[in-house]
Structure 1
Amino acid sequence: MQNVEMNFDGLVGPTHNYAGLSYGNVASFSNAKGVSQPKAAAKQGLLKMKTLHDLGLAQGVLAPQARPDLSVLKRLGFSGSDAQILNQAAKSAPAILAACYSASSMWTANAATVSPSADTPDGRVHFTPANLTNKFHRSIEPVVTGNILRATFADQQHFVHHNHLPENDHFGDEGAANHTRFCADYGQSGVELFVYGKTAFDISAPAPKKFPARQTLEASQAVARLHGLSTDKTVFALQNPDVIDQGVFHNDVISVGNRNVLFYHEQAFANTEHVLNEIQSKMGATHMHFICVPTAAVSILDAVKSYLFNTQIVSINATDMAIIAPMECHDTPAVKRYLDQLITLGTPIKEVRYIDVKQSMQNGGGPACLRLRVALTPLELAAVNPETKMSEAKFARLNTWVDKHYRDEIVAADLADIYLLNESYAALDELTQILNLGSIYPFQQV
C-alpha cells in the first residue's frame, strides 16, 4: 500500500438554505433568500465523492453539524419548548435564527488545519479545528467539529487532536482554506504554506479595506506551533489585500496546490516572488511547478465567478494530476479557454474533470471548499473509522438516507417550522449510526 492524500468531504446537511450570511463572499450574498434544494445539494456532494472514489482516490465522509443549534439560541435568551424557541427567534431575531440553521459546515476546508505525521515531531497526524471567529454562523461550529474529527480519527497512536484557538479575532482561523502543503510524496516531509490576510497585533500592517481579512498571521503561527512544525518547513504568506476586497475571502479562492504544484493567480499574494522563492528553497531538491494564471487570461471577476482556484488538484498516478472543477469553470469562456490550454503546457496537470456542485456554488463554496485533505500512511489509513470511508455500498446507503430525510426545497419561512428541526435531528441521529460516530451532537446528550 502507498501513502495517500485522502479527501474528506462534508455531507451537506438537511437544513441547507440560502441566508446570505457570509459578507465578503460574493456568491453567498448574491443568492441570499433564494430557494435552496437540500436533497439535490446532498446528492451532488455525494456524487462528487463517488467520482473521486471511482478515480481510485481515497475518499471519506465528514458528518454535518446539528442544525438548528438550539443551545446557541438558549444562550442568547430564547426559552420554552423547541417550537417556542424557534417561533420567538423567527419573530424577533430572524438573522440569528438563520445563522443557527446554517449548513455551512459542508465546507470542510474550513473544518481544521491538518499536518501529516511526516511533518510533525511525534510522527502523528495533528488536527486543529478552525475557530471561524469572523462569521457568527460559523463560529458556533468548532466544538462539534472537534467531536466529528475525534470520532473519525479516533486512534491516539496515530492522531492528535488540539482544541481550537481562542475565540478572538486576533486569532481568526479559517482552517485548511488558507493552508496548502507541498511534498514530493504524501508520505515524505513537506513544506506547509500558511496564507493570512492581516497581522492582528500590528494595525499598521497591510490589510483589506472593504471586506474582512478572516485569517490572521498570529493564528497561522499558533497552529504551526501546536503541530510542532519546524521553521525550515513552513512559509507564511500575506494574501494580496486588494483581491480580498474583490471577493477572494479565502486563499483557496485564488490559489490551490498539490504535491509539487502551486496553481495560482498572479494577484494572489502580496509579495509573490518572495513567496515562491521561499517555497522552492525549503523544498530543496524537489522541483516546484509554479503555474501562474495571468490577469490578461483570467480576470479576478471570472476567477471568483467560476471558482477556478477553488478546484481540486488530485494525483491520478505517480506523475500526472487532474483538476476537479465545477461546471461554472466550463461555462465561463475565459476560464474554459485557459483550462483547455493548461493541459497542453507540459505541467503535471494533464486533464480537467467538470462536476456539478451548483447548490454549493450558489452558497459560495466550490469543490475545494467541500473537502479536507489528510495525508496518511498505510497504517494511518487503516486506523481511520472505516464507516466514514466512501465505497459503492456507502454511496448507496447515504443516498437512501438522503432520500428518506431531506426536503426537496427550503425557503426562509421554513426555518420557523418545528418539523424541519425534528426531521434534521432524526436524520443526523441515524447518520451517526451509519458512520459509527457515537453521540457527537448536543441533542443526543440531553
Structure 2
Amino acid sequence: MKSYEVNFDGLVGPTHNYGGLSYGNVASQSNSQQSSNPKEAALQGLAKMKALMEMGFQQGVLAPQERPDVAALRRLGFSGTDAQVIELAAKEAMPLLVASCSASSMWVANAATVSPSADTADGRVHFTAANLNCKYHRSIEHPTTSRVLGAMFANQQHFAHHAALPAVAQFGDEGAANHTRFCREYGEAGVEFFVFGRSAFDNRFPAPQKYPARQTLEASQAVARLHGLRDEGVVYAQQNPNVIDQGVFHNDVIAVGNGEVLFYHEDAFLDTDSMLAELQSKLAKVGGNFQSVCVPRSAVTVDDAVRSYLFNSQLLSRPDGSMLLIVPQECQANERVWAYLQSLTSSGGLIREVKVFDLKQSMQNGGGPACLRLRVALNETELAAVNPGVIMTPPLYGSLTAWVEKHYRDRLSETDLADPQLLLECRTALDELTQILKLGAVYPFQIN
C-alpha cells in the first residue's frame, strides 16, 4: 500500500498583524508595530501550497481561527456587546486586544503533534493539540484547533484525537515544531524524535538564561504515552540552551528532518554524538539507514540561521530518492547562507535542489516555510478517509484565492484592531470558509 507525507499548510487569517507578541522570536520582536498586509500574507501562503501541489506533493490546508477572540476577552472581565468588549479592551488594555487578534494559528507546525499509524499501539493516526501555554496569545488556540482537526480527520477507525496537555509550565507543549519522524518509508514503523528545551522536574538539564525554553521533556514524554509509542521507537534530545538564548525558540529554527535524513546546525543540540548514535541504532532496527547533514558554524552562524530561517525549511522526498529543500527568500538574501546552499546542492549529496519562496509577510512575524505546515503521514486508506474538502486541488486553490481577495484587507495596523467591523469581517469570511472546506460548525460564533 502506498503511503504519503501530506503537508497541511495553515491558511493565514484575516487579522494577520505585527503585534510583537512572541518574546524570544527575533523577527516577531523586531517588526513589532509595523503595518501588515493580511491579503498578501494569505496569497503568499496559498502560492506555496499550489506550487507543492503542482510538483506532485500531497498538499492540504488548515483553517485559521476566529479573531479577535471576544470570548477570551470576556474571560478577562470585559463585558457588554461584542463591539463594547472590543472598545473597552482597546481603551483599557490594548496589549490584551492585540493578543486576542493574533493570527498566529497560521503557523500550524505548532498546532499539534502527529504520530502515524505505523508507530502507534492501536494502529491509528494520533493527534494531540499543543497547549502552547508559554504565550497567552497562542494558549487560546487549542480548543478551536482540536475542533478543526476533528473535522478534517473525523473517521474514528483511522484517527484518534487527544486533548491538549494540562496548561501549566511543567507541560509546555509546542507541537510538531519540536517533533520529527524518521523512517525508511512513510507507511513503515519509524523513530519519533522529540526535542525539548528544559525539564520541569530534573535540574540536571541546563536551561537557557535569556529566553524561555518552551518545550519540556515531560510534555514530550506525555505525548509519546498518549500516542502509544514504543520506547524503542522514540528518541528524546535536548536543544542547546545557548541557541535558545540566540533566538532559536523552537527546534525547527535550527534543524529539520525527513525520511532518513536530519539536516541540522552544528550547535543545535546537547550531546549530539550520543543522540545521533541512538537515532542510527533505533532506525536500523526497523530497517532504516539514518543519515545526517551537519551545517558547520564556520559556514553558517546561529545568527545567520535565525535571520534567514535556513532550517525552518521543508525537506521533501522526491521519487528518485533525492531531496528538495523549500526555503524562504531571506536565505537567498543572506550571502553566507546562499553560498552554503549552492555548495550543498552541487556536491551530489542527499539534498539536490533548493527552491525559494517569497513568504515575507510570515517571515516578518517569525515564521518560515516549516512553521506554515503540519506534516501527517498517511497510507492510501487513511488519505481516502480525510475530509476531501481540505485537500488542495486546482479548483480549491481558485476558490480560496477568490475568497481571500473578497474578504481580506490589504493593510492592518494596531489601531485597526479596535474596529468592531473587523470582527464581523472575520466571522463572515470564516463562515464562508467552512463551507468551502466542508468543515461544518467549528468556530465559537457558529456553535454558540
Normalising by the residue count of structure 1, what TM-score does the alignment of the two structures yield? 0.99
1:47 is matched with: 47
1:32 is matched with: 32
1:129 is matched with: 129
Q: State the 1:384 CA deviation.
A: 0.6
The alignment status of 1:144 with 2:144, answered yes or no, reads: yes
The alignment status of 1:418 with 2:400, answered yes or no, reads: no
User: Which segment is superposed worse, 196-205 or 398-407?
Assistant: 196-205
Q: Which amino acid aligns with 2:154?
A: A
Find the aligned partners of 1:10 and 1:180 in 2 and give their Cα distance.
18
1:327 is matched with: 329
Q: Give the secondary-structure state (helix, strand or coil) at the position aligned to 1:350.
A: strand
- The equivalences for 1:109-188 within 5 A come to 109-188=109-188
CA contact (8 A) 1:289 1:347 kept: no
CA contact (8 A) 1:37 1:408 kept: yes
- The equivalences for 1:353-392 within 5 A come to 353-392=355-394
Q: State the 1:205 CA deviation.
A: 2.6
Q: Which runs of 4+ in 1 moved over 6 A?
A: none
Q: Which amino acid aligns with 1:355?
A: F
1:225 is matched with: 225
Q: Give the secondary-structure state (helix, strand or coil) at the position aligned to 2:440.
A: coil
The alignment status of 1:283 with 2:283, answered yes or no, reads: yes
Q: State the 1:315 CA deviation.
A: 1.0
Structure 2 unaligned segments of length 5 or more: list them: none
Find the aligned partners of 2:207 and 2:30 in 1 and give their Cα distance.
24
Q: State the 1:318 CA deviation.
A: 4.4
Superposition RMSD in Å: 0.8
Q: Which amino acid aligns with 1:243?
A: V
Q: Give the secondary-structure state (helix, strand or coil) at the position aligned to 2:346.
A: coil
1:192 is matched with: 192
Find the aligned partners of 1:79 and 1:229 in 2 and give their Cα distance.
45
Q: Which amino acid aligns with 1:439?
A: A
Residue deviations 1:312-341 (CA, integer Å, cap 9, x gap): 001121411100000000110101001101
Q: State the 1:344 CA deviation.
A: 2.3
Q: State the 1:203 CA deviation.
A: 3.7
Q: Which amino acid aligns with 2:159?
A: F
Residue deviations 1:354-411 (CA, integer Å, cap 9, x gap): 0011000000000000000000000000001001000100000000000110000000
CA contact (8 A) 1:10 1:108 kept: yes
CA contact (8 A) 1:260 1:287 kept: yes
- The equivalences for 1:101-112 within 5 A come to 101-112=101-112
Q: Which amino acid aligns with 1:81?
A: T
Q: State the 1:123 CA deviation.
A: 0.8
Q: Which amino acid aligns with 2:6?
A: M
Find the aligned partners of 1:186 and 1:308 in 2 and give their Cα distance.
24
Q: State the 1:309 CA deviation.
A: 0.2
Q: Give the secondary-structure state (helix, strand or coil) at the position aligned to 1:96.
A: helix
User: Which segment is superposed worse, 345-354 or 5-14?
Assistant: 345-354
User: Which segment is superposed worse, 19-28 or 435-444?
Assistant: 435-444
Normalising by the residue count of structure 2, what TM-score does the alignment of the two structures yield? 0.99
Q: Which amino acid aligns with 2:303?
A: L
Find the aligned partners of 1:77 and 1:268 in 2 and give their Cα distance.
42
Q: Give the secondary-structure state (helix, strand or coil) at the position aligned to 1:144.
A: helix
1:88 is matched with: 88
Q: State the 1:277 CA deviation.
A: 0.4
Q: State the 1:201 CA deviation.
A: 1.1
Quote the sequence identity (%): 62
Find the aligned partners of 2:319 and 2:96 in 1 and give their Cα distance.
47
1:342 is matched with: 344
1:351 is matched with: 353
Q: Give the secondary-structure state (helix, strand or coil) at the position aligned to 1:319.
A: coil
Q: State the 1:121 CA deviation.
A: 1.2
1:5 is matched with: 5
CA contact (8 A) 1:324 1:367 kept: yes
CA contact (8 A) 1:55 1:316 kept: no
User: Which segment is superposed worse, 418-427 or 196-205?
Assistant: 196-205
2:401 is matched with: 399
Find the aligned partners of 2:309 and 2:140 in 1 and give their Cα distance.
26
Q: Which amino acid aligns with 2:252?
A: D
Q: State the 1:204 CA deviation.
A: 4.9
Find the aligned partners of 2:348 and 2:216 in 1 and give their Cα distance.
36
Q: Give the secondary-structure state (helix, strand or coil) at the position aligned to 2:120.
A: coil
1:16 is matched with: 16
Q: State the 1:286 CA deviation.
A: 2.1
CA contact (8 A) 1:69 1:100 kept: yes
Find the aligned partners of 1:187 and 1:202 in 2 and give their Cα distance.
35
2:301 is matched with: 299
Q: Which amino acid aligns with 2:357?
A: I
Find the aligned partners of 2:347 and 2:262 in 1 and give their Cα distance.
15
- The equivalences for 1:212-291 within 5 A come to 212-284=212-284, 285-291=287-293
Q: Give the secondary-structure state (helix, strand or coil) at the position aligned to 1:219.
A: helix
Q: Give the secondary-structure state (helix, strand or coil) at the position aligned to 1:343.
A: helix
Find the aligned partners of 1:156 and 1:230 in 2 and give their Cα distance.
22
The alignment status of 1:77 with 2:82, answered yes or no, reads: no
Find the aligned partners of 1:101 and 1:406 in 2 and give their Cα distance.
14
Q: State the 1:11 CA deviation.
A: 0.2
Find the aligned partners of 1:195 and 1:68 in 2 and give their Cα distance.
32
Find the aligned partners of 1:274 and 1:409 in 2 and give their Cα distance.
49
Find the aligned partners of 1:134 and 1:37 in 2 and give their Cα distance.
27
Q: Which amino acid aligns with 2:67?
A: R
Residue deviations 1:170-222 (CA, integer Å, cap 9, x gap): 00000000000000000000000000000011245310000000000000000
